[in-house]
Structure 1
Amino acid sequence: MAKGGFPGMGGGNMNNLLKQAQKFQKQMEDMQKELENKSYEVSVGGGTVKATVNGKKQLVDITIDPEVVDPDDVEMLQDLIMSACNEALKKAEEDSSEGMKKMTGGMNIPGMF
């Protein structure tokens, strides 16, 4: 066997590849921690309903203006809440996807996020 690695594999190149993979893994972990610490707030209905999610895509807060609570129109309030939550989750997902694009140079790696 050739010194420094497998025959025909170029030991130095394998070491460089391994170092790059470890560096990429560390960057991914750092980015994931950063995203988990972020929060995303969205307001709908002219500010009557606000939803906040974290980077783990968990709903952490919801605020409803009492003026929008109409017992005769519960469906509107439900729609506003659903809209606010979905928009906040979408915002968190877009931020996560954007971070992945920066890390991978635009390559799509299935299952990474």
Structure 2
Amino acid sequence: MKANYQRGGGQSMNAMLQQAQRMQEEMAALQEDLDGREYEVSAGGGAVTVKINGKKQILALDIQPEVVDPDDIETLSDILVAAVNEAIKRVEDTNNAEMSKMTGALGMPGIPGLF
């Protein structure tokens, strides 16, 4: 069975494919940019600082000596968890905002599941 494509009033198939390829290239470039970004987040009043990249990989974890108390490891653990979670949230929020800008500009707002 032969497919019937209407050409009147719309873009040609070739033009649509070219536009889709451009969009794919722009999104790949944005993703590469986002992956290369670095973020620094502190928790516990600066007791712990996490450096993370756009791929959500921890690059550095700095702990101030005064927060290390062998009798209270739980507090240090809580601060570490808070710092890492906030760092991940910052990456996700930035990635989502930047992708939303791009997809909105392309006339495709709210594409779920991009990240």
In structure 2, how many angstroms separate the alpha carbons of the residues matched to 1:7 and 1:69?
69
Q: 1:66 to 1:7 in 2, by over 3 A?
A: closer
CA RMSD of aligned residues (A): 1.7
Aligned length: 108
Q: TM-score, normalised by structure 1?
A: 0.87
Question: How is 1:18-33 mapped onto 2 (pairs within 5 angstroms)?
Answer: 18-33=17-32
Counterpart of 1:111 (choices 103, 108, 113) is 113
Runs of 4+ in 1 over 4 A off after TM superposition: none
In the other structure, the counterpart of 1:3 is none
Q: Which amino acid aligns with 1:111?
A: G
| Structure 1 residue 7: Cα displacement | 4.9
Q: TM-score, normalised by structure 2?
A: 0.85
Q: Which amino acid aligns with 1:19?
A: Q
Asked if 1:39 is matched to 2:41, the reply is no
In the other structure, the counterpart of 1:101 is 100
Gaps of 5+ in 1: 1-5
| Structure 1 residue 107: Cα displacement | 1.5
In the other structure, the counterpart of 1:8 is 6
